[in-house]
Structure 1
Amino acid sequence: MDRCHQKLVFLAAAFALSSGTVRAADEYQIDGSHTYPLFAINHAGLSTLHGRFDNTSGSFVLDREGNKSRVEAVIRVDSLNSGHAGRDKILLSDKFFDAARFPEMRYASSKVSLNSATTASVEGELSLHGVTRPVKLDVQHLACAIHPLFRVWACGFDAYATIKRSDFGMTAYLPNLVGDEVTIEIAVEARRVDAPKPGGR
């Protein structure tokens, strides 16, 4: 091994030691500025309506060597954004989400199965519109690395699920105007809780 190569290996090792490493079980705080729950639902049998929620918080534990992995998330219902203010007002009314009475939705895992280095299955309960029901998440693209901007350990993943809004008591305009089946995609980024939090975007 030449001196240049030795120096590169030494620098990489020093950086890893100074930044920390991914341990058996690490807790991560969800970064709300890079986490977006997205939804899609059929509209009038003609098109697909898309929307998102802009305020999400929570945490997860990633345990690759045991069974301590878990996920907890809170989504502010009034952060809904479907791209049209008038439609958002209707969706937040008592016809749909009834945000005045139910300002938050919550998800808490009961079991997390790590299927591979990059995939997982999460069983848990979703509390929405005053109703709590089991919902399974299919996790894809799970990745952990030193964040290139913040220089701390971070993880991210995409989670997918399908629910029926009628299961949560949201039945307005069924069955013809607004569909029942809702496709959910959640893009998540998070940073390890014991890592420093420098400024950045």
Structure 2
Amino acid sequence: MKNVSALFAALALSAAVAAPALAAPQTFVLDNSHSFPRFSYSHFGYSTQMSRFNKTTGKVVFDAAARTGSVDIVIDTKSVDTGFATFDEHIQGEDFLDTAKYPTASFKSTRVVFEGDKPSKIEGNLTLKGVTKPVTLTVTSFQAMPHPMLKKDAIGANAFTVVKRSEFNAGKYAPYVGDEVRIDIALEAIKE
């Protein structure tokens, strides 16, 4: 009987030690060749203009078993790409991004909400032009699996939010140029 008790104690101890390893959070580094924040807004009602930022860095922590995670992203605002160099400079000016004074924007999560085994919303703080406001990113797709080319674990997601640029001291020409700006991010990250 002592041997059986000792065996159960050893099994319980080994399960307790192994369990955290199975549910351990994993850290993923953004793949900056596949992670692009985009923004779109109404241009005098004529069209919806779409632009992006070409340089983004950051990390994502994901724990599938515990259904928790965190996101920390930094956007190089000087990498704004409207498709027209003169307009890139205009957007970087004081009236809009003021990249000379604020060369980066950031998003830092405060909570990740899951539906089943996938994140559905990411709540956090967006800092743009020195102003920090809470925003919620709605996740429209999510994938976690080994990367077929890199042979490492990887994650990918698409998410969006809508902000008012006037709340970030970038409201020049509103409401003619739309105050509401939709921010979309396509993100891929590789396990550290």
Shorter-chain TM-score: what band? 0.7 to 0.9
TM-score (norm 2): 0.85
AA partner of residue 162 (structure 2): T
Extract structure 1 runs of 4+ deviating beyond 3 A. Answer: none
Q: Find the counterpart in structure 2 of residue 191 from structure 1.
A: 190
TM-score (norm 1): 0.82
AA partner of residue 167 (structure 1): E
How does 1:1-201 map onto structure 2 within 5 Å?
A: 24-66=24-66, 68-176=68-176, 178-193=177-192
Separation of aligned partners in 2, 1:99 and 1:116: 40
Does the residue aligned with 2:179 lie in a helix, a strand or coil? strand
Which structure 2 residue ranges, 5 or more long, are not aligned?
Answer: 1-21
Question: In the TM superposition, what whole-angstrom CA distance separates every residue of 1:88-111 from its partner, at most 9, and x where no partner exists?
Answer: 110001111000000000110111
Which structure 1 residue ranges, 5 or more long, are not aligned?
Answer: 1-21, 194-201
- Structure ID, larger Rg: 2
CA deviation after TM superposition for structure 1 residue 133, in Å? 0.3
Does the residue aligned with 1:78 lie in a helix, a strand or coil? helix
Question: In the TM superposition, what whole-angstrom CA distance separates every residue of 1:31-50 from its partner, at most 9, and x where no partner exists?
Answer: 11110001110001110110
Does the residue aligned with 2:112 lie in a helix, a strand or coil? strand
AA partner of residue 191 (structure 1): I
| 8 A contact 1:143–1:155 mirrored in 2 | yes
Equivalenced residue count is: 172
CA deviation after TM superposition for structure 1 residue 23, in Å? 5.0
Separation of aligned partners in 2, 1:38 and 1:171: 18
CA deviation after TM superposition for structure 1 residue 118, in Å? 3.8
| 8 A contact 2:67–2:114 mirrored in 1 | no
Does the residue aligned with 1:73 lie in a helix, a strand or coil? strand
CA deviation after TM superposition for structure 1 residue 148, in Å? 1.2
Separation of aligned partners in 2, 1:188 and 1:24: 22
| 8 A contact 1:36–1:188 mirrored in 2 | yes
Aligned Cα root-mean-square deviation (Å): 1.6
Q: Find the counterpart in structure 2 of residue 18 from structure 1.
A: none
How many percent of aligned residue pairs carry the same amino acid? 36
